[in-house]
Structure 1
Amino acid sequence: MMAYLNSYLSKLIAGDLAAFGGPTTDEAVAGYIRAEQLSLVLGHSLAIMLANACNATVLAIALWHSPDRNFALVWAVTVVCGALSIGLKARSSRRMTKPQFVSRQAMHRLVRNALVLGTAWAIVPVAFFANASNGGQLVITCLCSGMLAGGAFAFATIPVAAVAFTAPIFVGTAICLGRNGDFVYLLVAILVVAYGFVLLHGVFAHSFEFTRRTIAQLEAERRGRRDPLTQLPNRFAFNESLEGALNRLARSGEEFALLLLDLDRFKEVNDRFGHPAGDEFLVQAASRLQRCVRQIDTVARIGGDEFALVMTNLTKLEDALEVAERFVGAFAEPFPIEKCEIAGATSVGIAVAPRDGDVPHELLRNADIALYRAKQAGPGTIRFFETSDDESARERRALLRDLELAVDRDELFLLYQPFFDIRKNRVTGFEALLRWRHPVRGVISPTEFIPIAEETGLIHGIGEWVVRRACSTLSNWPSDLRVAVNFSAAQFHNASILQTIVQALSQARVAPHRLEIEITESMLISKYAPASSILNSLLQLGVTVALDDFGTGYSSLTYLLKLPYTRIKIDQSFIRDMLRRPDSAAIVKSIIALTRDLQIGVVAEGVETAEQLDYLRQTNCDEVQGYLVGRPVAADHVFALLDQNKQWSTSAA
């Protein structure tokens, strides 16, 4: 009971209005309201303290001829010195950044100071009124009334402080006027009391309205800083948190870590189950992530599937690593969505301040670089920023800038590697291989620049250029040859991909069956639904479709049954080992037999020796591709290669 009473009194003295019928708030909101109240009081404090000093001086002058002159002088000097000291401190506090939270103890001190100052003014009527002249009594009455009004104004948003200040003055004034015995003074005393009740009623009414308005403002600000889907802080709130951590770093040297992470399978969930399922995935992921951090830390959602954490008061790097590991571990259990269990994963990049930067954009950039390296290493990977990362990132950005201009500068070009039909002993087509001739670095492999193009969206423009150039070149070849063009997963998310292919064929006046689209089965893992519809549209158009690098993916047989293909290409890793390893030979034989039963063409990649070619001929493989048949050549060397192949085919026959 005593503990409850102490808690109640503590809240009451701290300005809690619930006891008076005001709105009920939790401690976090109450601390924010106290901060607003204290800010207003500090804003008026200097002016009010100057008024106190002036009033005390006036009183000393009015009582100069009173028998209580010396006491009045001592009292006036004490009040003037105290008021000026309080006013100057308030002015200094006002210049500091307004806090977002003020404790109960700070409000207790304010109420105590208000009580002390009110008591000081309550001494005036009690000690000086009886011996003062009529003019002095009038001055005392006016000053006390003025202090009542001034106190009510100063503490208009804090009723308990207003009561602490005005109550002693009310009591002192009423006592001195009432004990005088004069009926007129008794009426004045009654008026003062009535005046006091009116003032306090106004204080409470104003305070209630102020509190409600502050709560509404706080809720609006919270909504503005809150992600509406996950209810986590948004990017705006995250930026404030980051700025606050940097300010503490500058003031006290408090180090902190910035963790960036994204969900590795979010796009797949969106593609397979729709956006409502994707939203549910984000909500569940956000809940799991929030459970991984300390109470003083908060995960923020700063983008679509991107989250961030400012981990304050960092004492050692292992603390940041431990939280990152908890983030990764939070995805160990599948997510129940749409009556399915979906596996999730996340990658984490970490930058540490001030080691990796002491300004927001630098820290964010370095954490993002670390996240990029983590994602390259695979789902569930954690990486701290390293200086070498910055160098590779600068090189990557430079490469991106150059790649943006590569098409316009005519730096991209195609090489063509032939397909050879084993039974007919003739070249049946060519695969178009993209290359980039950089003006400084020379020829750059597609394995180096295609990932950058896919991540930045440049792949769409580059892919369109490849299709158009390949079809244009094909138009100059014999009509029994085809050209195969590789497509990446990103291109299948471009709604205009079909239109691009149709236009390229039309402008080059090439029959659709002479164009072959090559895709890898690994790219279909997270893109099955959109790829299926596009591939069916391509087949209806007459374009042929090949499944590249067959056997290196995850669900080859499923895709063969559910997606339409004209032919498949056996990965060169099996061809390279088939004469040395019985298991590779068995796989090659099985794939060829399977394709014959499914009535799908088959191409063996990476044929480099005559022995490999003979073996594939015996196993009834349809076509081969490799250095034995021909290396990639420029378009103007294709006819020479065809002539050479005719001679080779004649001698082989």
Structure 2
Amino acid sequence: MAAPTNDGLPMFKQLKTKLTFAYGSLLGLILISIAMAVYVSVENTAKTKIADEMEAASAVYAKLWSLKSEQLKHSTGALARDSGFREAAASHDVATLASALESTSRRVSVDISGLITVDGKLILAGSAEEREAPVEIWKALTRDGSERGIIEIGGVPHQVVSEPVRTPGLIGWVLFGSALDAAMMKELEGLSSIPLTAKVVMEDDLSNGHGTEKDVVVRDTRIGGFGELTDAHLILSYPIVAAMAPFRTTLFAVIVVTVCGVVALLVCSWFISRSVTRPISTLDNATRALADGRRMPINVSSTDEIGRLAASFSKMADEIELREENILRLSLTDTETELPNRRALQQKLDDICGQGHANVYAAVISPARFARIMAVIGQNASNRLMATLGKRIADLCQVQGIGRLGSDLLGLIITADNDSDAFRRLQDIVRTVSDSIEIDGEKVDIQLDAGFAPFAADERLGSIDRAVIALQQGRGRHVDLFQFDAEAYGDPSGTLSLMSEMIDGLKDGSIYMTYQPKVDLRRQTIGCVEALLRWKHPVRGFVSPEEFVRTAEETGHIRPLSEWVLKQVRADRQSFVVAGFDIKMAVNLSGRLLTDSDFLDWSIATIRDETSRYCFEVTETAVIDDPELALANIERLRDAGIEISIDDYGSGLSSLSYLKQIPAHELKIDKSFVIPLAAGSSDALLIKSTIDLAHSLGMTVTAEGVESAEVLAMLSGMGADSAQGFFISRPVKHDEAITFLRDFVHHAGTAGTTLKVG
């Protein structure tokens, strides 16, 4: 592993090292290539010269062997024509034949001589015994009485010539042969101008890998075998090393020059690359320092491109420093008021607490009715108002820090001995800065509300956030100065957990629909059931619908919950229809969705084929936030054929104005009036008046919460149109509701009363 250098990089990762090796290696490769080309050229020249010498030697050897073959041919022919030899052959005189062969072989200097008879017998020179002739030689002679070629005898190749013997008929063949042994090869090698090595190798040995050597120049000349016997090869060889010997001095000089050239190139490339990369290293170190928030001087004096780059970098560093300062200032400033922002206030709070100050408090001040003020004086003027108010607060010695948290929120930091002292100090601050503020020549009176919370590092909710919540809590209690109430705030994480469990409940069946029948008091029929949501939690037990529906409204889960309800009610209605009850379904519609036009479009599309069999129940207060849009959407539902019912009438602050404007079919009296109903009570008077009022507005009236026969009778006497409650039936699942409807029809028929459902 390479050790790091002063530049902080391993040597082999530095640019100068890479440049050195890149250029040095490139030029070195060129030199090495030239050296190799010279070597190859010299080697090829040597091989060509040796090949030419071998070709010449091979031609000489071929000529010599041809002469030798002719000499042997002449000798065998003379012996085969000799009358005495023929007579001895005809009489099969073995001794005479052996003697004649021996004397002739000594005279003509052959290594072997013999006579092969037509019946396959062999008589050798100087031998008084005859033996079986080699089958291959005998066969070759019988095909063509005169043969010449190579025969391997005793592991040594021999040049053999034959001649037929006739008296006058054919009686045999004379064979003379010369050994192609080492002595013969030595004699041939002496005829060459170069120290060749010559040898005759049988083809079988050559095919097995014998007869050839590596790293030598070789010339191979084929020599025919005797008859169909194996051919032989004359192998002439000369070592390449010997061929290259005259060029060793030249090649050594080339290698030395190449090595020295490569070393020189590496050294020169190192110094050149070092001069190039040194200013780059300086720029690199300066860049790293800049990234760490430090400035490092750049000492590059060259006037070339690198020098210009260094100058540009210095200018860029100055610009970056200015921009960082500006960005940092903007990140800590509210651009509309030039006051510190929330981030700056949080940093100030952390700094104060980090210095060990005890009893630090975060507070929030906000002008009351700010939306109204902004509507009157405009956005820009409102920003100037908040800027003036912020400067007033910042100038107070009691204030340790200030920041704008929102359009109408100013946060500040104070220290106090305890909660009571913090309350008094904040109260003094509010009184001090509450004077009217002049904007564009006009005075704007302001009334300030405030909330505060002590600093607590271990709280999940930050001190500033708790101060904002304290302001909202105070406004909810109509108090202008309030300390954060943790108990009243509760556990928002529990709310999120409840919603997550609610989503699971919709899937696992722990949330389900129940249905409570509604009886028509005049016709004694059941034409409608109200769909009511229930949740039996596996751990929490029964969860009140008011609790989780309200939470769903606050967290934005009310739409998916309402979509699930409408789909389930539609599916359950099909079960009622299959059972023979074409019942109308009353579904509660959240006030949050009454102004959600997309949801209403989806609802109408979902029940488009049977809208007349649905009734949407809405509360009177649902239209208060956006009356125009809410009333327009109610008209859309009516136009689609869906009935509208005003639910829980009397449970809140009822308004005759809204009651008159809402185009409803039905008014439902809240159970809080019906349950305590008794003859002569004020509740009875109110209920009677409400029934008459609804009838005069063209609406039917349904009373909720009927729990006794007496109350049911009183409501019927007052003119109520319908009733529902525990006396009639509790909310039950759809299969139990179907059973109830069947029992209702059965009991009504038994009593002789004409009753029906649907």
Please give the TM-score of this superposition, normalised by the length of structure 1: 0.54
**Following TM superposition, by how much is the alpha carbon of 1:563 offset from its aligned partner in structure 2, in angstroms?**
2.2
Measure, in 2, the Cα distance between the counterparts of 1:264 and 1:319: 24
**Higher deviation after alignment, 567-576 or 397-406:** 397-406
**Following TM superposition, by how much is the alpha carbon of 1:463 offset from its aligned partner in structure 2, in angstroms?**
1.2
> Structure 2 counterpart of 1:250, which letter?
G
Which one of 662, 671, 696 corresponds to residue 597 of structure 1?
696
Q: Which residue of 2 aligns with 1:250?
A: 354
Contact 1:259 1:310 in 2 (8 A): yes
Measure, in 1, the Cα distance between the counterparts of 2:380 and 2:468: 25
Q: Which residue of 1 aligns with 2:664?
A: 565
Secondary structure of 1:491's aligned partner? coil
Q: Which residue of 1 aligns with 2:734?
A: 635
Measure, in 2, the Cα distance between the counterparts of 1:346 and 1:555: 32
Is 1:440 paired with 2:544?
no
Q: Which residue of 2 aligns with 1:516?
A: 615
Which one of 587, 598, 602 corresponds to residue 500 of structure 1?
602
Secondary structure of 1:413's aligned partner? strand
Contact 1:489 1:527 in 2 (8 A): no
Q: Map Cα deviations across residues 37-89 of structure 1 (whole Å, 9 max, x no partner).
A: xxxxxxxxxxxxxxxxxxxxxxxxxxxxxxxxxxxxxxxxxxxxxxxxxxxxx
Which one of 317, 326, 341 corresponds to residue 419 of structure 2?
317
> How do 1:277-356 and structure 2 match up within 5 A?
295-296=395-396, 297=399, 300-302=403-405, 307=409, 309-321=411-423, 350-353=452-455, 356=456
**Following TM superposition, by how much is the alpha carbon of 1:590 offset from its aligned partner in structure 2, in angstroms?**
1.0
Q: Which residue of 1 aligns with 2:549?
A: 450
> Structure 1 counterpart of 2:535, which letter?
W
**Following TM superposition, by how much is the alpha carbon of 1:515 offset from its aligned partner in structure 2, in angstroms?**
1.4
> Structure 1 counterpart of 2:696, which letter?
D
**Following TM superposition, by how much is the alpha carbon of 1:255 offset from its aligned partner in structure 2, in angstroms?**
2.9
Measure, in 2, the Cα distance between the counterparts of 1:327 and 1:632: 57
> Structure 2 counterpart of 1:504, which letter?
T
> How do 1:86-485 and structure 2 match up within 5 A?
225=332, 227=334, 231=337, 233=339, 237-259=341-363, 295-296=395-396, 297=399, 300-302=403-405, 307=409, 309-321=411-423, 350-353=452-455, 356-357=456-457, 362-364=462-464, 366-367=466-467, 380=479, 384-385=483-484, 388=487, 392-478=491-577, 480-485=582-587
Q: Which residue of 1 aligns with 2:633?
A: 534
Measure, in 2, the Cα distance between the counterparts of 1:591 and 1:416: 26
**Following TM superposition, by how much is the alpha carbon of 1:539 offset from its aligned partner in structure 2, in angstroms?**
0.9
Q: Map Cα deviations across residues 65-124 of structure 1 (whole Å, 9 max, x no partner).
A: xxxxxxxxxxxxxxxxxxxxxxxxxxxxxxxxx9xxxxxxxxxxxxxxxxxxxxxxxxxx
**Following TM superposition, by how much is the alpha carbon of 1:389 offset from its aligned partner in structure 2, in angstroms?**
6.0
Contact 1:366 1:390 in 2 (8 A): no
Measure, in 2, the Cα distance between the counterparts of 1:345 and 1:413: 50
Q: Which residue of 1 aligns with 2:180?
A: none
**Following TM superposition, by how much is the alpha carbon of 1:417 offset from its aligned partner in structure 2, in angstroms?**
1.4
Secondary structure of 2:675's aligned partner? helix
> Structure 2 counterpart of 1:603, which letter?
T
Contact 2:688 2:718 in 1 (8 A): yes
> Structure 1 counterpart of 2:601, which letter?
Q
**Following TM superposition, by how much is the alpha carbon of 1:301 offset from its aligned partner in structure 2, in angstroms?**
4.9
**Following TM superposition, by how much is the alpha carbon of 1:369 offset from its aligned partner in structure 2, in angstroms?**
6.5
Measure, in 2, the Cα distance between the counterparts of 1:262 and 1:487: 36
Measure, in 2, the Cα distance between the counterparts of 1:283 and 1:562: 39
Q: Map Cα deviations across residues 556-587 of structure 1 (whole Å, 9 max, x no partner).
A: 21112222111111111221233166322221
Measure, in 2, the Cα distance between the counterparts of 1:422 and 1:275: 53
Secondary structure of 1:546's aligned partner? strand
Which one of 564, 571, 592 corresponds to residue 490 of structure 1?
592
**Following TM superposition, by how much is the alpha carbon of 1:326 offset from its aligned partner in structure 2, in angstroms?**
9.3
Q: Which residue of 1 aligns with 2:228?
A: none
Secondary structure of 2:576's aligned partner? coil
Q: Map Cα deviations across residues 325-349 of structure 1 (whole Å, 9 max, x no partner).
A: 799999x9xxxxxxxxxxx999876
Q: Map Cα deviations across residues 508-537 of structure 1 (whole Å, 9 max, x no partner).
A: x4x112211111122322232221121111
Q: Map Cα deviations across residues 372-419 of structure 1 (whole Å, 9 max, x no partner).
A: 7667x6555866445656874443343233234433444321111111
Q: 1:437 to 1:312 in 2, by over 3 A?
A: same
**Following TM superposition, by how much is the alpha carbon of 1:603 offset from its aligned partner in structure 2, in angstroms?**
0.9
Measure, in 2, the Cα distance between the counterparts of 1:465 and 1:572: 27
Measure, in 2, the Cα distance between the counterparts of 1:426 and 1:346: 60
Segments of structure 2 that go 5 or more residues without pairing to the other structure are 1-292, 294-317, 435-445, 754-758
Secondary structure of 2:719's aligned partner? coil
**Following TM superposition, by how much is the alpha carbon of 1:598 offset from its aligned partner in structure 2, in angstroms?**
1.1
Contact 1:258 1:308 in 2 (8 A): no
Identity of matched residues, %: 25
Q: 1:498 to 1:393 in 2, by over 3 A?
A: closer
Measure, in 2, the Cα distance between the counterparts of 1:454 and 1:522: 15
The structure richer in strand per residue is 2
Measure, in 2, the Cα distance between the counterparts of 1:560 and 1:414: 29
> Structure 2 counterpart of 1:484, which letter?
A
> Structure 2 counterpart of 1:247, which letter?
D
Measure, in 2, the Cα distance between the counterparts of 1:615 and 1:554: 25
> Structure 2 counterpart of 1:357, which letter?
A
**Higher deviation after alignment, 579-588 or 513-522:** 579-588
Contact 1:232 1:301 in 2 (8 A): no
Measure, in 2, the Cα distance between the counterparts of 1:424 and 1:329: 68
Q: 1:545 to 1:423 in 2, by over 3 A?
A: same
The structure richer in helix per residue is 1
Please give the TM-score of this superposition, normalised by the length of structure 2: 0.47
Measure, in 1, the Cα distance between the counterparts of 2:393 and 2:752: 71
> Structure 2 counterpart of 1:470, which letter?
V
Secondary structure of 1:312's aligned partner? strand
Secondary structure of 2:741's aligned partner? helix
Segments of structure 1 that go 5 or more residues without pairing to the other structure are 1-97, 99-209, 333-343
**Following TM superposition, by how much is the alpha carbon of 1:252 offset from its aligned partner in structure 2, in angstroms?**
3.6
Contact 1:299 1:307 in 2 (8 A): no
Q: 1:608 to 1:363 in 2, by over 3 A?
A: same
Measure, in 1, the Cα distance between the counterparts of 2:368 and 2:503: 27
Contact 2:517 2:530 in 1 (8 A): yes
Q: 1:397 to 1:226 in 2, by over 3 A?
A: same
Q: 1:361 to 1:281 in 2, by over 3 A?
A: farther
Contact 2:411 2:464 in 1 (8 A): no
Measure, in 1, the Cα distance between the counterparts of 2:423 and 2:376: 33
Secondary structure of 1:471's aligned partner? helix
Q: Which residue of 2 aligns with 1:127?
A: none
Structural RMSD (CA): 4.5
Q: Which residue of 1 aligns with 2:271?
A: none
Aligned residues: 417
Contact 1:552 1:571 in 2 (8 A): yes
Contact 2:604 2:637 in 1 (8 A): no
Q: Map Cα deviations across residues 348-384 of structure 1 (whole Å, 9 max, x no partner).
A: 764211xx33679543565566567667x65558664
Q: 1:367 to 1:252 in 2, by over 3 A?
A: same
